[in-house]
């Protein structure tokens, strides 16, 4: 006995798969859109140049009323800039400069770029308060370490985006900042009491909801003060707080349900069912290219989600009324998209470079030798949301002195977004003496810190370039010459080049 056509359409409406391909949608995806598919997510493997991506988006939109989303935070998490780097600064730089008008302008510029590629939803801004400096996945993706700072910039960013007709998504509710585990590969927990959660984690989300953000993304994080056993994505008490206490009536979408916190516990299909029962509306199925052993993994993942949902309806575990409620909110977001102007407004693109320059911090003399440079990159970690960390600023330093060379302090495997396995990252024991040492986030990784110590022992005057999260410029007491950038982007590379040649 087949699924009722109306129920089948509702099930399709609440799904948001990824897919393989860049030039045209696969056949299964075209069929799913025709049956009411709610959304798709672009990852870097879907992104070509602007014309190629816009053509793909046009094909998808012609097939049906599907919402196209992607992660375009600026800085190190940039799907549009996955190959050449983001032309936009990241959240930590914006928070450090603390110029709300500049943040709004950057949000609008990102929105214009997304519109040009035919994308409807930005999975940004990050509204997490980075209160744990050891956080392995948020770091420079956050505007800062206080709820007040995060609040004013999250609002400005969302306002800038939505002014261009691109929906903003506040993430990762109810807060991924005070964690030491990455939910891509494990199940993090925030042990703060409820009063602290309300003042720190929840306050920025409450403010951005009041400001009119169109979507909120859940976190695969356990908060014992609200629910001791279930991560927020599948927790009715947590998502009820978003609805009832914060008053949000837009689309609640899940973070990728193929992440370890869900996939390795209850499984993707059951995660879909439980997320809907908890109150989520749009189910992100994740990146189907990661770990793929067959060419049709995207179809397999989608089929698993759709089949398990249909079974749950047949068994009476998933009420049709819950599907109807979720689909109603998705339809409201579709209507909002259709009301946007034919073209985005003209935006100010000067803010990114200004912010990049103002966000830099330095110590000591920054003059570099006139001869070719010996650069040592001791970054071991790869940010899971971003994949392989960009090397834009590193390349700018190399280009400043023709003939310069670069050596990695670790043997690095290939990395793509969503993959964090660093078991194969072996430290080199034959480090060259370096003029410039590139590091990520100090005190996040003992092996990286040890390679930095060895490098500075060999050349105490080496210029240390810090591209990751830093709690302050008092760090790296053993380094005489330092540049802190608080992230990486095309404007960051330009700002550092200007600094080194002034």
pLDDT tens-digit map of 372-399: 999 999 987 554 444 455 589 999 999 9
pLDDT recorded at residue 122: 98
> Is 122 among the residues known to form the active site?
no
- Among residues 184, 220, 419, 444, the one annotated as catalytic is 184
pLDDT recorded at residue 108: 97
Tokens 């430290």, residue located: 427
pLDDT recorded at residue 475: 76
Q: Is pLDDT of 251 > 80? A: yes
pLDDT-above-90 percentage for the chain: 72
pLDDT recorded at residue 157: 98
Read off the pLDDT of each residue in 483-502 and give the average, rounded to a whole number.
92
DSSP character at residue 290: T
pLDDT recorded at residue 414: 55
pLDDT recorded at residue 264: 84
pLDDT recorded at residue 390: 55
**Radius of gyration over alpha carbons of the chain, in Å?**
22
Q: What is the DSSP string of 116-177?
A: HTT--EE---B------TT-SSSGGGSS-SSHHHHHHHHHHHHHHHHHTT-EEEEEEET--S
Q: Is pLDDT of 145 > 70? A: yes
Residue spans of beta strands (DSSP E) within 373-451: 374-377, 405-408, 410-411, 426-427, 436-439
Least confident of 117-121, 330-334, 420-424, 449-453: 420-424
pLDDT recorded at residue 386: 45
CA dihedral 446, 450, 452, 453 (to 10 degrees): 130
> Is 352 among the residues known to form the active site?
no
In angstroms, the CA 149 to CA 154 distance is 9
pLDDT tens-digit map of 45-54: 999 999 999 9
Picking from 359, 369, 372, the residue whose alpha carbon sits closest to that of residue 470 is 359
Read off the pLDDT of each residue in 195-216 and give the average, rounded to a whole number.
96
In angstroms, the CA 212 to CA 65 distance is 22
pLDDT recorded at residue 472: 72
- Among residues 99, 178, 255, 435, the one annotated as catalytic is 255
Q: Is pLDDT of 217 > 90? A: yes
Produce one character per residue of 4-34: b if its CB has 16 or more CB atoms within 10 Å, e if not: eeebbebbbbbbbbbbbeeeebbebbbebbe
SS3 assignment, position 43: coil
Q: For all residues of the chain together, what is the average pLDDT? A: 90
pLDDT-above-70 percentage for the chain: 92
pLDDT tens-digit map of 280-323: 999 999 999 887 888 899 999 999 999 999 999 999 999 999 99
pLDDT recorded at residue 387: 47
Number of Cβ within a 10 Å radius of residue 315: 9
pLDDT recorded at residue 353: 96
Query: Which pLDDT band, with edges at 50, 70 and 90, does 277 fall under?
Result: very high
Tokens 């070719």, residue located: 372
For 246, the token pair is 């914060």
**Domains observed in the chain:** 13-338 (3.20.20.300), 360-500 (3.40.50)
Q: Is pLDDT of 23 > 60? A: yes
């Amino acid at each position: 006995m087949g699924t009722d056509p109306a129920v089948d359409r509702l099930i399709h409406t609440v799904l948001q798969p990824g897919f393989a391909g860049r030039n045209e949608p696969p056949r299964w995806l075209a069929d799913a859109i025709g049956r009411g598919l709610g959304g798709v997510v672009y990852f870097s493997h879907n992104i070509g140049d602007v014309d190629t991506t816009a053509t793909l988006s046009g094909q998808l939109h012609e097939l049906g009323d599907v919402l196209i989303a992607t992660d375009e935070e600026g800085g190190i998490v940039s799907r549009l800039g996955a190959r050449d780097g983001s032309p936009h600064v990241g959240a930590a730089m914006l928070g450090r400069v603390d110029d709300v008008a500049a943040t709004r302008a950057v949000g609008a510029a990102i929105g214009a770029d997304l519109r040009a590629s035919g994308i409807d939803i930005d999975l940004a801004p990050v509204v997490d308060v980075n209160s744990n400096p050891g956080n392995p996945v948020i770091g420079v993706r956050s505007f800062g370490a206080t709820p007040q700072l995060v609040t004013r910039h999250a609002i400005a960013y969302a306002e800038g985006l939505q002014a261009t007709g691109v929906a903003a998504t506040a993430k990762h509710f109810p807060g991924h900042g005070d964690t030491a585990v990455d939910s891509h590969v494990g199940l993090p927990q925030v042990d703060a009491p409820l009063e602290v959660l309300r003042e720190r984690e929840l306050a920025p989300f409450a403010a951005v909801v009041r400001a009119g953000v169109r979507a909120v993304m859940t976190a695969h994080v356990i908060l014992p003060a609200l629910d001791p056993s279930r991560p927020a994505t599948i927790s009715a008490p947590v998502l009820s707080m978003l609805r009832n206490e914060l008053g949000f009536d837009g689309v609640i979408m899940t973070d990728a349900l193929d992440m370890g916190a869900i996939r390795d516990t209850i499984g993707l299909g059951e995660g879909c069912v439980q997320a809907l029962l908890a109150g989520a509306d749009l189910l992100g199925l994740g990146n189907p290219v990661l770990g793929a052993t067959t060419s049709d993994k995207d179809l397999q993942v989608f089929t698993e989600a759709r089949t398990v949902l249909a079974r749950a309806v047949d068994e009476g575990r998933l009420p049709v009324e819950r599907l109807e409620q979720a689909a109603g909110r998705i339809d409201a977001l579709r209507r909002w998209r259709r009301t946007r102007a034919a073209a985005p407004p003209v935006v100010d693109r000067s803010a990114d470079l200004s912010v990049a320059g103002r966000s830099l911090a330095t110590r000591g003399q920054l003059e570099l030798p006139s001869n070719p440079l010996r650069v040592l990159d001791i970054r071991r970690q790869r940010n899971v949301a971003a994949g392989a960390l960009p090397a834009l600023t590193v390349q700018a330093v190399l280009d400043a002195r023709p003939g310069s060379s670069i050596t990695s302090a670790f043997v690095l495997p290939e990395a793509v977004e969503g993959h964090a396995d660093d078991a194969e990252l072996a430290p080199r024991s034959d480090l060259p003496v370096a003029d410039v040492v590139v590091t990520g986030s100090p005190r996040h990784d003992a092996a990286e810190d040890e390679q930095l110590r060895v490098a500075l022992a060999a050349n105490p005057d080496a210029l240390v370039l810090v591209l990751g999260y830093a709690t302050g410029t008092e760090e790296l007491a053993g380094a005489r010459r330092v540049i802190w950038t608080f992230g990486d982007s095309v404007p960051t590379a330009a700002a550092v080049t200007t600094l080194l040649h002034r």
